[in-house]
Amino acid sequence: MKTTLKKYWGYESFRPLQEEIISSILEGRDTLAILPTGGGKSICFQVPALMREGVCIVVSPLIALIKDQVENLCRRGIEAVAIHSGMTYRQIDIALDNVVYGDVKFLYVSPERLRSDLFKARVRKMNVNLIAVDEAHCISQWGYDFRPDYLVIAEILKILPTRIPVVAMTATATETVAEDIMARLEFRAGNVIKGSFLRRNLSYIFRKVEDKTGRLLKICGTISGSGIVYVGRRKSAEDLAQLLQSHGISAEGYHAGMSPAARSAVQERWIGGNTRIIVSTNAFGMGIDKPDVRFVCHYDMPDCVENYFQESGRAGRDGKDSFCILLWNEADLATHRKVIQTSCPSLPYVRDIYQKVFTFIGYAYEEGAGASVKFDVEEFAKRYRLNAATAYYAIKYIESEGYWSLSETVRIPARLQFSVSRDQLYRIQLGDAETDTFVKLLLRMYTGLFSSYVSIDIDKISLAGHYSPEVVKEKLKRLSRMDVVKYIPAISSPMLSLNNERLYDKNLRLPESNWKEKVTRHTERLEAMSSIVSDDRHCRNAGLLQYFGEALDEPCGKCDVCRAANVGKAGSGISEEKAIQYRNLLTLRSK
């Protein structure tokens, strides 16, 4: 184990519980690993997969994280490929062929791809040594992010010629969710390896305040170092970042509505220390491992304990003292209660949305099974004069019933194919020296352009040919107008993957009992969050740990409740500088 770890990652030793999890997998045992954020979950399945012949199939719901992990593995000299809803049929076909006949060690797949006949046919031919399920709470209807496509994993296990071990990974799972995960994945025996959720270097501070902006400015002035501020809306991320900048605080906004290039640039500046504070929606954080985050502030209260714990856990991964601050008020609770009402529209409304979606994307009854199409909820809502939020939740409810999957925003690269023969192209090149130079550049960089669409990278073409990206696009458009090429520009859009053909309304099963259960689950999670943040009498750490089924022997001594009576007193165990910092933070009360 350690030889593999050293060879590919350069580490001399494992983090806590990693070795135990790896040993369990190598013994052939189905394993549920519950490790808090930053616990190094990926190595737990990557190391044992590398130690065995064959390929490891990794199921992950986050396309951006899939791409990052594949790139990281390839940089380490490990063959890895990915298939997801942003790829064409031919791209997926080629990728699966490479897994069956090549030396690929890791196949990353988004859950909606598991349903396709193409995937099921090819997986039978693969020498699979392990199935790793990332974000495993998504398989549980009691989890906070249920994805019905995860239920297909058990079917995939049965397709394989021999029963191989499955490892399920999650950062947050209650005892109920853990039991459900093992049942859904048909574990041969219960086997949970769980790390403690206690982070002794984190100080939790929950404050009920009305003037959140003033309190945030005070936090940024009190705590030095890097920070993350989480907000609930994209516009809030932009506005709050600008406000901090106007007060001389280095900050940038981050949300899913930004282009991939813009998000990447913001992220790199923050990781490199050029930007001090990221103000973001929950789109930020997955796969980010910046160790020196000194504080995470929730400007808007999350709707469940799981989300809060995962996001706040991005503070202090270097083991040094860090702060997790949550600002809340009754307006937050009212907003979330309204969201629950909005997110659970009536079943007649949901049925109407189902039919409108198929009309919008152009599929008649009994058509569309297995297709993936770009889908913009705002455009859809505008077309039919709907409330975008209510329509979105109706679409997500239909997803929870297994009829389709709406992915995160996917960037589909530009694609190109020559529509003339080589002889015709040669004659066109002879007539225009500028076109000749550009066409030769394309032919040098890409193969297969005469037989099918090929994904192209505008930035790489511009660098190789010393053009600006805008000039490259114009040249491609000109060739397209001349009918020399078929050019499809790059797009960024959520993708809707259809699991079934369009059904007549009488065949659309949406049980009322499932709808009522969904409302109950959302309500219970919100009430648990409300109970924890409003309890000013008991240790914050103890309350959070109790939610996840872990007991704390004694108060943590670091949260706002524990410190309130002891800050600055003799024997408190903290320096004068730290005591001043605590004092300033603990006075974040409403006036």
Does residue 570 surpass a pLDDT of 70? no
User: Where are any strands of DSSP class E within 489-540?
Assistant: 491-498
Supply the pLDDT for residue 509: 93
Q: Tell me the average pLDDT across 391-397.
A: 91
Query: What CATH superfamily classification does 2-194 receive?
Result: P-loop containing nucleotide triphosphate hydrolases (3.40.50.300)
One fold for 2-194 and 202-328+521-586: yes
Give the pairing type, strands 128-133 and 166-170.
parallel
In the structure encoding, which two tokens stand for residue 363, read together? 């599929």
Domain ranges of the chain: 2-194, 202-328+521-586, 336-412+493-510, 414-489
pLDDT tens sequence across 33-86: 998 776 688 999 999 999 999 999 999 988 778 888 898 899 999 999 999 877
Supply the pLDDT for residue 585: 65
Does residue 574 surpass a pLDDT of 90? no
- Scan for tokens 């030793």, then name that residue: 13
Supply the pLDDT for residue 201: 93
Beta bridge partners of 170: 34
Does residue 537 surpass a pLDDT of 80? yes
Does residue 579 surpass a pLDDT of 80? no
pLDDT tens sequence across 158-204: 999 899 999 999 988 889 999 999 999 999 999 999 988 898 999 99
Supply the pLDDT for residue 227: 96
Of the chain, the percentage scoring pLDDT greater than 70 comes to 93
Could you tell me the fold of the domain covering 336-412+493-510? Arc Repressor Mutant, subunit A (1.10.10)
Supply the pLDDT for residue 366: 94
223: confidence class by pLDDT, cuts 50, 70, 90: very high
HEC assignment per residue over 327-383: EECHHHHHHHHHHHHHHCCCHHHHHHHHHHHHHHHCCCCCCCCCCEEECCHHHHHHH
pLDDT tens sequence across 302-339: 999 999 998 999 999 888 999 999 999 999 999 999 88
pLDDT tens sequence across 87-101: 777 888 999 999 999
HEC assignment per residue over 380-402: HHHHHCCCHHHHHHHHHHHHHCC
Query: What CATH superfamily classification does 202-328+521-586 receive?
Result: P-loop containing nucleotide triphosphate hydrolases (3.40.50.300)
Does residue 285 surpass a pLDDT of 70? no
Are 421 and 428 in contact by the 8 Å Cβ rule? The answer is: no
Gap between the Cα atoms of 282 and 232, Å rounded: 8
pLDDT tens sequence across 473-501: 999 999 999 899 999 888 777 889 898 99
In the structure encoding, which two tokens stand for residue 368, read together? 């569309």
Does residue 590 surpass a pLDDT of 50? no
The whole-chain average pLDDT of the chain stands at 88
Gap between the Cα atoms of 104 and 505, Å rounded: 44
Supply the pLDDT for residue 569: 45
Supply the pLDDT for residue 576: 55
Does residue 261 surpass a pLDDT of 80? no
In the structure encoding, which two tokens stand for residue 316, read together? 């202090």
The DSSP string of 76-115 is TT--EEEE-TTS-HHHHHHHHHHHHHS---EEEE-GGGGG
In the structure encoding, which two tokens stand for residue 214, read together? 């003033």
Q: Tell me the average pLDDT across 210-237.
A: 94
